[in-house]
Amino acid sequence: MKQLATITGLSLALAALSGCEADRISEKDFSLPEGNAMDGQEAFVYLHCYECHTIDGVELPPVLSDEPPYVELGGQVTQVKTYGQLVTSIINPSHKLAPGYPLETISEDGQSKMPLYNGYMTVQELIDIVSFLQPHYQVIVPQYHYRVYP
Ligand code: HEC
C-alpha cells in the first residue's frame, strides 16, 4: 500500500513537472516594443543581411558573394507573419527552415546556412529589423479551384 502511495505521489510530481516544462517553453506574453522600420533597413544593410536576402520592392546593395543561399523575404504569404516568427527566424534560424527551398540550398546537416548574429546584433537592431520586414509580407487569401462537374 505504501508502495502504491509512493508511485502515485511520484507520478503526480512528474505530471506537475511536465506541466512546468510546457510553461517554461511557452511564448505566452512575449511582446516586442515598437521598432523603427527605417533604422531596421539600415541595420539590415550594415549587418549584410542583403548578401543572402532580397526583399521585393526594396532597393538593396548588390550581392557580393558568388553563390549565396538566396532567400527572398517579404512577398505574398497565406498567413500573417508574426513578429514571433520573424524574431525566431533571426535568432534561432534552424528552428524552422524557410519553406519552399531545396534543403541543400538553405541548410547543411539540418542546420540553417544563415549565420548566427546573437553575439553582436543588439536587441534594438532586432526589434527595428522586425519592424522593417513585417510590412513587406502581404497576406493573400489562397485561391482554391474546385472542379465543377456538369
Ligand atoms: C549567408 C547567408 C545569410 C545571411 C547573411 C542572412 N541570412 Fe537570413 N536566411 C538565410 C537562409 C539560408 C535562410 C533559410 C533557412 C532558414 O529558414 O533559416 C534564411 C532565412 C531567413 C528568414 C526566414 C525566411 C522565411 O521565409 O522563413 C529571415 C526572416 C531572415 N533569414 C532574416 C535575416 C536577417 C534579418 C539577416 C541579417 C541580420 C539575415 N537573414 C542574414 C541565409 C542568410
Q: In order along the chain (150 residues), what is the average pLDDT of each group of 10 residues?
A: 63 61 84 96 96 90 74 89 94 94 93 96 98 94 74
Residues 43 and 111 in one domain: yes
Residues 115 and 87 in one domain: yes
Cα–Cα distance between 91 and 72 in angstroms, integer? Answer: 18
Q: Which of 121, 75, 71, 115 is nearest to 92 (CA)?
A: 115
Whether 81 lines ligand 1, by a CB cut-off of 6 Å, is: no
**CATH number for position 102:** 1.10.760.10
> In which domain, by residue range, is 21 found?
1-29
Q: Which of 61, 95, 90 is nearest to 73 (CA)?
A: 90
Residues 61 and 134 in one domain: yes
H or E stretch covering 132: helix 123-133
Question: Quick one: which atom of ligand 1 is closest to the CA of 51?
Answer: 5
pLDDT confidence of residue 17: 60
Q: Which three cell numbers stand for residue 56?
A: 521585393
Residues 41 and 109 in one domain: yes
Q: Which three cell numbers stand for residue 114?
A: 544563415
- For residue 132, tell me if it sits in a domain: yes
39, 52, 58, 117, best to mutate for ligand 1 pocket (most atoms within 8 Å of CB): 52
Residues 65 and 118 in one domain: yes
Q: What phi and psi values does residue 95 have, to the nearest 5 degrees? A: -55, -45
- Degrees, nearest 5: CA angle 84-114-21: 45
82, 89, 94, 118, best to mutate for ligand 1 pocket (most atoms within 8 Å of CB): 89
- For residue 147, tell me if it sits in a domain: no
Residues 37 and 24 in one domain: no
Residues 71 and 87 in one domain: yes
pLDDT confidence of residue 19: 63
- For residue 144, tell me if it sits in a domain: no
Residues 60 and 104 in one domain: yes
Would you say 137 and 74 are in contact if contact means Cβ atoms under 8 Å apart?
yes
pLDDT confidence of residue 133: 97
Whether 117 lines ligand 1, by a CB cut-off of 6 Å, is: yes
Structural domain count of the chain: 2
Residues 51 and 14 in one domain: no
